[in-house]
Structure 1
Amino acid sequence: MNKADSDPRTLETFDAIIIGSGQAGTPLASELARAGWRVAIAEREHWGGTCVNEGCTPTKLMVACAENAHRARRAGDYGVSVGTVRVDLAEIRRLKRELVASFSGGSESGLRKAGVTLLRGEASFTGPHSLVVRGEDFERHLTAPHIFINTGGRPRRPDIPGLDAVPHLLNSTSIMELDEVPAQLVVIGGGYIGLEFAQMFARFGSHVTVLHHGAQLVDREDADIAASLLDALRAEGLTVHLEMSDLSVEASEAGATLNFQTPAGAQSVDTAHVLLATGRTPNTDALNLAAAGLDTDKRGYIPVDENLKTGVEGIWALGDVKGGPAFTHVSYDDYRIVRDALLHGKTRPTSSRTSTYTLFTDPQLGRIGLSEREAREQGLDILVATLPMTSVARAIEMQRTAGMMKAVMDRNTGQILGAAVLGPEGGEVTATLQMAMLGNLPYTALRDAVISHPTLAESLNNLFMTLDKAVAAE
């Protein structure tokens, strides 16, 4: 046993200690405290975690700002004259900072009102159930039978020769601190984070180039969905290079020149601004996990079981730090799973939840459950329904017809296994499909439902009606 664990005189005792104030740790700390537990939470950077400070909250505000600029430029298509559109990125940054401060302050005040002990500092293990938290002017030693790790992740820096030659090397956090719109922006990575920023800055006025290693954007999606999104982005003027390889950087008069290969041959692009959007790294390196008897996988994530327990009794890992889908709603559901187990005696495995997420590009991509590719890889007998947005009345009326809808059903039962909605408010329409899946409704229930006209959700009638002819022809 570690000396710190065996000597209670050196330790402050709590019922629970939470490391990190993300979307699992913050509500869990408050809930346990309200239940009468003595709870401490340690946060080294900012209350509220990634989502509130540098993820969902600020990025979706900036997406909305970019969308307004885009709509203003398109106003003439709707018979409206607005004149020259000018983007004030410094003002957008001010709005972003104001919103973040409000949300982060709300997280902090909520914790204090619940009676949680807040420690602004970096925590690391000194034993299986003991920690030291070091702040600017303090060092405190704590112990608890229940410890929850919710430390999230940070942008990963890829190993690219010459990368330091870029004058303005950005990640998903620092790009939101720019006060002027770059003339040129190169985004390395064609995943969800990269594409949201790529389209955002194109709409702000940058000439944007996206470099992606894969054969398609958003690698986990079906090829037809990815191709439809690619068409929409290129139609807005973004330059996208797929199957990019052999990337290197050298200094140049423009700031830096990026040299790379594509199936079309050698390519290069000049820029002073590069956004790295090549994934994230878990924040586990400063935790001294070995002192607690914890290991990580080869990528640095903390393995857990279906109840979010680590290999050490009394220690849980929640949110992005445990690996798997890195979404706020997943992290928040981690909190609910642990809360119900500890306070209400109810267990629910993580495998019971259906994967869902939204990509906030325009067209917006909402996803739920299995893709067609995943279903076929599992050997399932399926029906697949597709409908282009050019056949959706509401999308036509809004002049927003980029994208498509797609759903995957079990052939024998008609149960909806998954769907993708790439179009206006795709995430909201997908939520309608999610409700049907939660209620175990067959696709025919949505096919025959009387849905208000003309709405985007009404297009689900038409999506599933496409199966009538297909099934009849078999």
Structure 2
Amino acid sequence: REFPGIKPGGTTLEFNGIIEQKNQIVRGLRREKYADVLKSLPSTKLFRGNARFVSRTRVKVDGINVDGKRFVVATGSSPRIPSIPGIENVDYLTNVEALSMKNRPASMVVLGGRALGLEFAQMYSHMGTRVTLLQRSDRIIPEEEPAVSDALRQYLEEEGIKIKTGVRIKRIYQKQGEKVVVATVSGREFEARGEELLLATGRAPNTDRLGLKVVKASVRKDGAVKVDREMHTTAPHVWAAGDVIGEPMLETIAAKEGATAAENALLGTHKKIDFLPVPRAIFTSPQIATVGLTEREAHEHGIECACRTIPMSKVPKAIVVRDTRGLIKMVDEGSTGRILGVHILAENAADLIHEAVLAVKYKLTIDDIIDT
């Protein structure tokens, strides 16, 4: 963004330096948030390895038996690799490899138009990579408000990212190092080519090798562990939390689930999670942050919805910082004015959403906000 009276100088981008900075941050946070915390808990013992249940009260960690009365499963998820003809013969990337490359690719095809795919597509586009993004559904981030996803698509395309929705992929092949995706949109065939192919097609819960049948903890068809609102599995002494229990696989929600599962398992409490006021964010530019119900979800609950949308071009702060991209949509109950959901597309949306979280959690009304 240009500001009158300010003339920025030229900048250069060192891809290797960016990746190394990322590695340093991850190492530091892993040490600070996990390793150091475990060291400060004398009653906690860490075992590194692959664990699986071998009996009702025992797990085996790479040959070591560990016994317990209660267990919390939080094994996370792994990239889901779609069944596409030819994919087994292609050198594709997942989010792990995409953050570990030594050289920036000149071009990239991204499969998937939800949070992960959008974040990576824009990141590489900002670094100079030509990006084509293919999405199966009719719009990107279909779980978000249509106005939000439509506006974000416009901004990404204005930056030069090619986006195709309603895509049906027929096959993938690799020729002389170039990855080629053969697909159709509305029956018309096309090819998307890139030096790299990034799969952002979802994640699969890590449950295959846990031995959950031994403890009679049920899993769904997608491999996710079945839990109730207390994070309790179908096994009376096993709880689960995070990506391993399936969608929505988001850090903010996983943290809430983990705390609830641990408290219930250790203290014998029956704390339940209310997912409605738990926020989520997508770190594109502008960011997306949401909490509560969408307009469609409100109608599905039989609620007469009064929805209000304001473009960021009407917000003085956005005008001052010269970034008026985005909008704020509020979903409220027509008869009472109770705020049911807030959806923000704006720079720093992830910071702005927290006021809305309190409004949704404590069932505030529009008038409550006005009078505050």
> Normalising to structure 2: TM-score of the pair?
0.94
Answering whether residue 227 of structure 2 is matched by residue 300 of structure 1, we say: no
Tell me how many residue pairs correspond in the alignment: 370
Aligned with residue 141 of structure 1, among 56, 65, 82: 65
Shift, 1:93, TM fit = 1.1
CA offset at residue 104 of structure 1?
1.5
Q: Structure 1 78/172 Cα, relative in aligned 2: closer, same or farther at 3 Å?
A: farther
Q: How does 1:377-392 map to 2 (within 5 A)?
A: 377-392=300-315
Letter of the aligned partner of 1:216 in structure 2?
R
1:282-293 equivalence runs, <5 A: 282-293=205-216
Q: Say whether 1:94 aligns with 2:3.
A: no
3-state DSSP of counterpart to 1:366:
strand
Whichever residue aligns with residue 212 of structure 2, its letter is L
Q: Which residue number in structure 2 is paired with residue 57 of structure 1?
A: none
Deviating 4+ runs (over 4 angstroms): 76-79, 342-346
Give the one of 72, 77, 87 matched to 1:163.
87
Q: Corresponding residue for 2:46?
A: 118
Structure 1 unaligned spans of 5+ = 1-73, 450-474
* Cα shift readout 1:92-139 (whole Å, capped 9, x = no counterpart): 1111111111122221121122021111111111111111110xxxx2
Bigger mean CA deviation after superposition, 409-418 or 104-113:
104-113
Please tell me the residue identity of whatever aligns with 2:233: T
Partners of 2:17 and 2:226 in 1: how far apart?
42
**How much has 1:246 moved relative to structure 2?**
3.0
Q: For residues 200-349 of structure 1, what are the structure 2 equivalents within 5 Å? A: 200-253=123-176, 255-263=178-186, 265-341=188-264, 346-349=269-272
* CA distance in 1: counterparts of 2:90 and 2:261, whole angstroms: 44
Secondary structure class of the residue paired with 1:111: helix
2: distance between equivalents of 1:100 and 1:268? Answer: 36
Q: Residues of 2 paired with 1:238 and 1:142: CA distance? A: 50
Query: What is the rounded CA distance, in whole Å, between the counterparts of 1:112 and 1:238 in structure 2?
Result: 45
Q: Which of 70, 75, 80 is 2:6 aligned to?
A: 80
**Distance in 2 (alpha carbons) for counterparts of 1:321 and 1:264:** 36
SS of the residue 1:170 aligns to: coil
Query: Are 2:51 and 1:127 equivalent residues in the alignment?
Result: no
Residues 413-428 of structure 1 aligned to structure 2 (within 5 Å): 413-428=336-351
User: What letter is aligned with 2:57?
Assistant: H
Q: Secondary structure at the match of 2:98?
A: helix
* 2:31 matched residue in structure 1: 105
More helix by share: 1
Residue by residue, what CA displacement relative to the aligned partner does 1:423-470 show, whole Å, maximum 9, x if unpaired? 121122221111222333211232354xxxxxxxxxxxxxxxxxxxxx
Residues 324-369 of structure 1: per-residue CA shift (max 9 Å, x gap): 3212222222233234435566532124652420111111111000
Q: Deviations over 1:285-335 (max 9, x none)?
A: 111222222231111111012211111121111111112321222222223
Report the 3-state secondary structure (helix = DSSP H, G, I; strand = E; otherwise coil) of the residue aligned with 1:385: strand
CA contact 1:232–1:403 (8 Å) conserved in 2: no
Summarize the Cα distance change of 1:256–1:331 in structure 2 as closer, same or farther, 3 Å threshold: closer
Measured in 2, the distance between the counterparts of 1:114 and 1:385 equals 49
Over aligned residue pairs, what C-alpha RMSD do you find? 1.9
Deviation at 1:253, TM superposition (A): 4.0
In structure 1, the residue corresponding to 2:40 is in which secondary structure? Answer: helix
Identity %: 28
Deviates more, 1:214-223 or 1:342-351: 342-351
1: CA distance, partners of 2:167 / 2:147: 20
Contact persistence 1:166–1:273 (CA under 8 A): no
Residue in structure 2 matching 1:362, options 285, 299, 321? 285
Q: CA, structure 1 residues 303+344, in 2 after alignment: closer, same or farther (shift >3 Å)?
A: closer
The letter of the residue matching 2:16 is A
User: After the TM superposition, which residues 186-201 of structure 1 pair with which residues of structure 2 at under 5 Å, given as runs?
Assistant: 186-201=109-124
* C-alpha distance in 1 between matches for 2:278 and 2:124: 29
| Contact 1:308/1:318, CA 8 A, preserved across alignment | yes
TM-aligned CA distance change 1:181 to 1:395, over 3 Å: same
Unaligned runs of 5+ in 2: none
Higher Cα radius of gyration: 1
Q: Secondary structure at the match of 1:256?
A: strand
Q: C-alpha separation between the residues in 2 aligned to 1:324 and 1:165? A: 29
Letter in 2 for 1:161: P
- Following superposition, the deviation at residue 222 of structure 1 comes to 1.9
- Aligned mates of 1:343, 1:262 — CA distance in 2: 52
8 Å CA contact 2:72–2:262 kept in 1: the answer is no
Q: Name the CA distance, whole Å, in 2 between partners of 1:78 and 1:238.
A: 28
- Give 1:265 deviation, angstroms: 2.4
1:307, 1:350 within 8 Å by CA — same for their partners in 2? yes
Please, which moves more after superposition, 95-104 or 197-206? Answer: 95-104
**Residue aligned with 2:47, SS:** strand
The 1:181/1:132 distance shift into structure 2, 3 A limit, reads: same
Q: Distance in 2 between the 1:323 and 1:250 partners?
A: 31
8 Å contact from structure 2 (residues 276, 360) kept in 1: no
Output the CA distance in 2 between the equivalents of 1:165 and 1:184: 19
